[in-house]
Structure 1
Amino acid sequence: MSHPQEPTAAEAQTAIADEFAFFGDWTERYQYLIDLGRQLPAFPEQDKTEEHRVHGCQSMVWLIPSGDASRLHFAAASDSAIVSGLIALVLRVYSDRPAQEIVDTQPDFVQQIGLTKHLSPTRSNGLAAMLARIKAHASGVLAA
């Protein structure tokens, strides 16, 4: 059941871009990312398994999808503070959305807030791997 007050993926991306625009420099933006990561819901230790691991990330990242085509939910965690912050942003845009919206949504926020320029290549790869995994899951659900 979707509620009209819930922002769409596109609105979530705009909100993220607006929030990051408040910060003058990347030191503050990294700190904000770390703070966002600290607010992620607790991720059960027993779910930190190889099966749930996202490969392509230098740090450890685990991702668990649930739900169906009408609303897919993603739980995720990382052992890295900055990557946890990236996860928080990704989940804000992609979690609890219809599979079709997930597939159709390009991660524009990554470019908009300048992450492409300010993340190390390994973190960028990790972010790309996470996004690919989420989209692949949504596509699989749609195809099923």
Structure 2
Amino acid sequence: MTIQQIQNQLVEDFSFFDDWTQRYEYLIELGKSLPLIDPQYKTPERLIKGCQSQVWLYAESKEGKLYFTADSDAIITKGIVALLVKVFSGHTPTDILTADIHFIDQIGLKEHLSPTRANGLVSMLHQMRAYAQAEQAKN
């Protein structure tokens, strides 16, 4: 699936829930299914700056595509990073860098986050794109 198709699927998934309590529960479930980062990568260098919670993000390149793993010490934040991993993992750096990330606004996520969590979301997105830029620069 393309990044666009994954985003559309997430918008559809979130549309099944009537309120944000149910959406938060879904986010928490997504966080539980997150491919966990190997403990050796839970280092200060991989902590995302700008997040109130601790969020570690690791990117690995395989056959021209980036695969992300992550973890967080907060359940909602873990769900947020799981959403981004779901969207970006398994795609080329070019696809990641040129993707129009619309699902965040369409599901209403940003407006239902505290300012610090919203900043964290932006920081996670920025870091994933930074990994993609670094990988693209190698090739």
TM-score range, shorter chain: over 0.9
Alignment pair present for 1:37 and 2:31: yes
Q: 2:19 aligns with which of 18, 25, 28?
A: 25
Stretches of structure 1 lacking an aligned partner (at least 5 in a row): 1-6
Q: Equivalent residue for 1:89? A: 83
For normalisation by structure 1, the TM-score amounts to 0.91
Shift of 1:68: 5.3
Measured at CA, do residues 91 and 85 of structure 1 come closer, stay the same or move farther in structure 2, by a change above 3 Å? same
**Aligned equivalents of 2:59 and 2:38: distance in 1?**
14
1:49-128 aligned within 5 A: 49-67=43-61, 70-128=64-122
**Aligned equivalents of 1:112 and 1:19: distance in 2?**
12
Stretches of structure 2 lacking an aligned partner (at least 5 in a row): none
Shift of 1:42: 3.1
Q: Equivalent residue for 1:13? A: 7
Local SS of the residue matching 1:58? coil
For normalisation by structure 2, the TM-score amounts to 0.94
RMSD over aligned CA atoms reads 1.3
**Aligned equivalents of 2:135 and 2:63: distance in 1?**
6
**Aligned equivalents of 2:112 and 2:52: distance in 1?**
16
Query: Which amino acid in structure 1 is aligned with residue 50 of structure 2?
Result: G
Local SS of the residue matching 1:67? strand
**Aligned equivalents of 1:82 and 1:107: distance in 2?**
20
Query: Which amino acid in structure 1 is aligned with residue 121 of structure 2?
Result: L
Shift of 1:43: 2.9
Measured at CA, do residues 69 and 129 of structure 1 come closer, stay the same or move farther in structure 2, by a change above 3 Å? farther
1:35-62 deviation digits (Å, cap 9, x = unpaired): 1101112333332210111110000000
Shift of 1:69: 7.4
